[in-house]
Amino acid sequence: AYISDITPPQERTRAMGLIGAAFGVGFILGPAVGGVLGAWGGNFAIGMAGAALAGLNWWSAFLRLPESLPAESRRPVGEWYAFPLRDLPRVLAMPQVGLLALVLFTAIFAIANLESTFVLLAKHRYGLDQRECGYLFAYLGLLGVLVQGILVGKLSHRFGETRLVLTGYLLQAPALLLIPFMPTVGWLMAALATMALGGGVAGPSLNGLLSKLTPANRRGEVFGVTQSLGSLARVVGPLWGGWSFGHIGMSAPYVSAAMLMLLAGAMVAWWVTSAASTVPASRQ
């Protein structure tokens, strides 16, 4: 919401991509720093370092970030809610925005299946140890930096956010399906690269599209709800992923994730045909 407030509409997807690239840098540096801290002070050192970084982020935002909304666009204090999901019915009722919020939940639920089971799959299916899994996560982070930090802005200007969201999900679906069935680690890395490319273009593009479709005085509400839906997906997604991995089979979380990603793509396609006709060309 803050990024959408401080950037013009034509630059929002690029800005969302830069934020995603920053997360990618975290995926590169985080496992390396965590490994060093773990060898030095165990899990306690890792936890304390994480808490210190979170506190530093909070303090920096409190001191250095000014309010992004002008006074006339702010929600009155009496309408403020401590729990964003209380706004869920209002957001889902918003034309065009509501369906995209459900698309976001579905896609994140799918990815949470991979995030919660990949280390187990890498160990039991591909024989990788914890350090090698860290290298693969760093590899994904590097791809995320390249795609979201460099490509997304240029692609969004050329093709528009709607096409990028749909293309991203259609790339991720077969990649997720193939991840547990690759014959070698090299082929696994190719599948992961396809997934990273799809996610790298779809995520920032969906957020950019949401920011353009939402009135300025409701962006905080909408992004509060969508972030809460994303968090909810990261809670229930691993529950299903872990259960299906252990009770159905190692491939089950990835097959179901691929099906969910196809569902997300179908929802976007339906949105394009039924709702995008009312969206100005500059927003597509």
32/246: higher pLDDT: 246
Q: Which residues contact 66 (CB under 8 A, 6 or more apart)?
A: none
User: Over 60: is that where the pLDDT of 277 sits?
Assistant: no
> Between the CA of residue 64 and those of 49, 59, 113, what are the distances in Å?
22, 8, 36
Q: What is the pLDDT of residue 88?
A: 84
Predicted confidence (pLDDT) per residue in 129-158, tens digit: 877 887 888 888 888 888 888 888 888 888
Among the residue ranges 1-10, 86-95, 173-182, 272-281, the one predicted with the least confidence is 272-281
pTM of the model: 0.78
User: Over 60: is that where the pLDDT of 104 sits?
Assistant: yes
CB atoms within 10 A of CB 232: 16
CATH number of this structure's domain 2-73+87-276: 1.20.1250.20
Predicted confidence (pLDDT) per residue in 18-52, tens digit: 776 676 677 667 766 776 787 788 888 889 999 99
- Please compute, for residue 56, the number of CA atoms within 13 A of its CA located in the half-sphere on the CB side: 6
Cβ-in-10-Å burial (0-12, 13-18, 19+) of 89 comes to: exposed
List the chain domain ranges.
Answer: 2-73+87-276
Mean pLDDT value across the chain? 84
